Amino acid sequence: MVSPYLFRSTTLIEPTNKCNLGCEFCEANCTVNAHLKRRDITPEQLEIMLAKLSELIINIVFQGDCEPTLNPYLPELTRIAARFTSSVALVTNGTRLKEMYVRRLVEAGMSWFAISIDDYRPEVFNQVRRGADLEKIQSSLRALIRLRDRERPDLHVVVHKIVFPGDTLEELRTFVRTYYLDYGVNQITFAPLVQMGDIKVRDWLKLRNRLESAMIDEGVYVNLGEFCPYPYRTLHRYCGTNLLFISHEGNLSPCGLHVRQGRSFGSLLEHDLEELAQGERFRELHAYWQDKRYSRPIPAQCHDCFLLKGHYHRYSLNEGHQAGLQFLDHPDLAPAAADGEEPCRHLESA
């Protein structure tokens, strides 16, 4: 590798731009939200792209915007992915996880399933996840956990929840009790609601830490430390969510954010990796984060990123207090107020 900015990471693949739900909070650019031409990554295209990244792949996750299970080739894509890594994951709305289909995916090499379930109450869940039926998804979740327990102990099952502004500590406790204790998932992950580029739950980091403490008081040691529902691996963690992201069009980016605005390093189908790594946007992003130029202008790729408007990246960077302070006064960023600056209504109601 010639570029100093190529290093091993999780590789996130967005297999399609199709979705079968119309969740009221979702701003993904899917065919349900806009008149887009339907597009799926094909097995041939995946082969070409993964071969170019092969030395850098740690693990592979099928996610991105939209719903991966709507790509009709997903079992075949999984089989190809499994040739590049022993860890292949799926993030899904769970509506298509019928037992036979899950078995096909598992046989192809899928070992990590993360299902986005935002509530334990059907009347709340079904209202926001328009088109979904919580009871059916829960029944698929039970079947998946049965498969793990009886035949495949290597399977890892995650439930991911969006933290909404109205969620209270007590509701989150019930959520954890439901899925961690009753269902027996391996892991629960939380991330705050983001709308129009803003984090809508300002105190979510404090709330999450408070929830962990409350559960420990009950004798339940749940680790909510991860922001993403997938196994996140990289040599340099940068802002906290950087990785190798391939969009359904075959474009390479450092994360799944901002691809909605068309920002990417270029097409991995048309160019070699080294060519993309020589691009100005690629070099600027990696120099900023890797060389710790935190007080310099924010890279073009990251301009306006919601993640930098809160404090999660400081928490995640784990670079020391002084480095974190440079973001507080950064001229390119609006005053950071999310992730814990304001009084916590949720915590008061505890």
Residues that bind ligand SAM (CB under 6 A): 19, 25-28, 63, 65, 67, 91-93, 116, 160, 162, 191, 193-195, 229
Minimum CB separation of residue 201 from ligand SF4 in Å reads 17
The residue (of 79 and 286) whose beta carbon lies closer to ligand SF4 is 286
| CA trace torsion 161, 212, 327, 195 (10° rounding) | 20
Minimum CB separation of residue 160 from ligand SAM in Å reads 5
For residue 305, the partner it binds in ligand SF4, ligand SAM, none, with Cβ less than 5 to 8 A by kind, is ligand SF4
Minimum CB separation of residue 154 from ligand SF4 in Å reads 26
R_g over Cα of the chain: 20
The residue (of 32 and 58) whose beta carbon lies closer to ligand SF4 is 32
Minimum CB separation of residue 345 from ligand SF4 in Å reads 25
Minimum CB separation of residue 79 from ligand SAM in Å reads 21
Nearest to 148 by CA among 115, 178, 103: 103
Nearest to 261 by CA among 304, 227, 299, 228: 304
**3-state class percentages of the chain: helix first, strand second, coil last, to nearest 5:** 40, 15, 45
The residue (of 262 and 297) whose beta carbon lies closer to ligand SAM is 262
In three-state secondary structure terms, 16 is strand
The residue (of 6 and 308) whose beta carbon lies closer to ligand SF4 is 308
The pairing of strands 244-246 and 198-199 is: unpaired
For residue 162, the partner it binds in ligand SF4, ligand SAM, none, with Cβ less than 5 to 8 A by kind, is ligand SAM
For residue 160, the partner it binds in ligand SAM, ligand SF4, none, with Cβ less than 5 to 8 A by kind, is ligand SAM
For residue 91, the partner it binds in ligand SF4, ligand SAM, none, with Cβ less than 5 to 8 A by kind, is ligand SAM
The residue (of 46 and 257) whose beta carbon lies closer to ligand SF4 is 257
| Contact (CB, 8 A) for 41 and 81 | no
Q: Which residues bind ligand SF4 (CB under 6 A)?
A: 19, 21-23, 26, 28, 30, 65-67, 93, 239, 241-242, 254-255, 257-258, 301-302, 305, 307-308
Tokens of 152: 């495949």
Minimum CB separation of residue 214 from ligand SAM in Å reads 23
Q: What contacts 24+ positions apart, CB below 8 Å, involve 253-259?
A: 253/301, 254/285, 254/301, 256/12, 256/14, 256/63, 256/64, 256/65, 257/305, 257/306, 257/307, 258/301, 258/302, 258/304, 258/305, 259/14, 259/65
The residue (of 182 and 262) whose beta carbon lies closer to ligand SF4 is 262
**Torsions phi, psi of 106, nearest 5?**
-65, -45
Identity at 16, one-letter amino acid code: T
Distance, C-alpha 94 to centroid of its chain: 15
Minimum CB separation of residue 86 from ligand SF4 in Å reads 26
The residue (of 204 and 222) whose beta carbon lies closer to ligand SF4 is 204
Which residue sits closest to ligand SAM, CB atoms considered? 116
Opening angle at CA 332, ends 328 and 337, nearest 5: 40
